Amino acid sequence: MTVNRPKALNALNPDVLKDLKDAFEAVDLETTRVIVLTGAGEKSFVAGADIAAMSQMTKEEGEAFGKFGNDIFRMIETFPIPVIVAVNGFALGGGNELAMSCDIRICSDNAVFGQPEAGLGITPGFGGTQRLARIVGVGKAKEMVYGARNIKAEEAYRIGLVNAVYPQAELMGAAMKLAGIIAGNAPIAVRNCKKAMNDGLDTDMDNAIVIEEKLFGACFETEDQQEAMKAFVEKRKVEAFHNR
């Protein structure tokens, strides 16, 4: 998927957010194993929300816009299959928040991340105050959010905001290679892994391991598990995973 509004550096307005929602809702989960998300052009993944569209909002309109974006990003975060984001250039404000709603983040060496909202008189509105602290730690997140400070790709990698940094020409190739590796595994198992990790991180360890146990057990009802373990015992490669 590509956020395609390059003349506005792919800034998020209500129409772009709705298109993003529609695109995810249209994914065929029977045949799709992984989603790779990026932005059109070489300058920007998503430069943020559309400031011109927000500048005249009332309190009620601002809250509704925040909920609209949050609902979509939460849908992406909890989407059944993995989502890899390839950040090419700016990922500021809503762009960083969108990237953080994805499972795995990789970026080009010209990427810039940040939550500049405090300099515009607002807070992050699409989950930035919540996900950034969970990903990079509370202290670094507060520094970035309170200071409206941008960071470059190297620092994003150092603090764990991204998994890897690539030259821009190699970014999409790396994203597709990673997607292919994930897609080569048993799809039901991968989905259960995502659900176990997401749901488990939202609760305490005692409840988290119960979540894992149930999803682990559910895999033993699948044809893919039976074929994969039979192949292992017989010392051969799996013929194919059939998502059932």
- Give the residue-averaged pLDDT of 33-56: 91
Q: CA distances (Å), 23 to each of 36, 72, 241, in order? A: 12, 11, 25
Q: Are residues 222 and 144 in the same domain?
A: no
In a domain, 210, yes or no: yes
pLDDT tens digits for range 145-197: 999 999 999 999 999 999 999 999 999 999 999 999 999 999 999 999 999 99
Instruction: Residue 217: give its domain's CATH number.
Output: 1.10.12.10
Split into its structural domains, the chain has a count of 2
Residue 52: the pLDDT is 83
In a domain, 88, yes or no: yes
Cα separation, 240 vs 185, whole angstroms? 9
Cα separation, 28 vs 162, whole angstroms? 27
pLDDT tens digits for range 18-37: 999 999 999 999 999 999 99
Q: Are residues 84 and 172 in the same domain?
A: yes
Residue 175: the pLDDT is 98
Q: Residue holding tokens 């470059």?
A: 152
Classify residue 8 by burial, with Cβ atoms within 10 Å: 0-12, 13-18, 19+: middle
* 63 flagged as catalytic: no
In a domain, 238, yes or no: no
Residues belonging to the chain? 244
Q: Which position among 97, 143, 213, 221 bears the catalytic label?
A: 97
Q: Is residue 211's pLDDT more than 90?
A: yes
Q: Are residues 63 and 178 in the same domain?
A: yes
pLDDT tens digits for range 191-204: 999 999 999 999 99
In a domain, 242, yes or no: no
Residue 49: the pLDDT is 81
Q: Are residues 101 and 222 in the same domain?
A: no
- Give the residue-averaged pLDDT of 31-55: 92
Lateral strand order in the sheet of 104-108 = 2-3, 35-39, 83-87, 104-108, 164-166
Mean pLDDT value across the chain:
96
Q: Which residues contact 137 (CB under 8 A, 6 or more apart)?
A: 159
- Give the residue-averaged pLDDT of 205-211: 98
Q: Are residues 69 and 111 in the same domain?
A: yes
Q: Which position among 61, 63, 77, 117 bears the catalytic label?
A: 117
* 223 flagged as catalytic: no
In a domain, 244, yes or no: no
Q: Are residues 198 and 125 in the same domain?
A: no
Q: Which amino acid is at 119?
A: G
Range of the domain at 44: 2-183
Residue 225: the pLDDT is 96
In a domain, 73, yes or no: yes
Residue 53: the pLDDT is 82
Q: Are residues 162 and 198 in the same domain?
A: no
Question: Would you place residue 50 in the very low, low, confident or very high pLDDT band (cuts 50, 70, 90)?
Answer: confident
Side-chain-facing half-sphere of 137: CA atoms under 13 Å: 7
Q: Is residue 111's pLDDT more than 90?
A: yes
In a domain, 240, yes or no: no
Q: Are residues 178 and 206 in the same domain?
A: no
- Of 18-27, 41-50, 222-231, which range is least confident? 41-50
In a domain, 239, yes or no: no
Q: Is residue 48's pLDDT more than 90?
A: no
Residue 3: the pLDDT is 96
pTM of the entire predicted model? 0.95
Residue 12: the pLDDT is 92
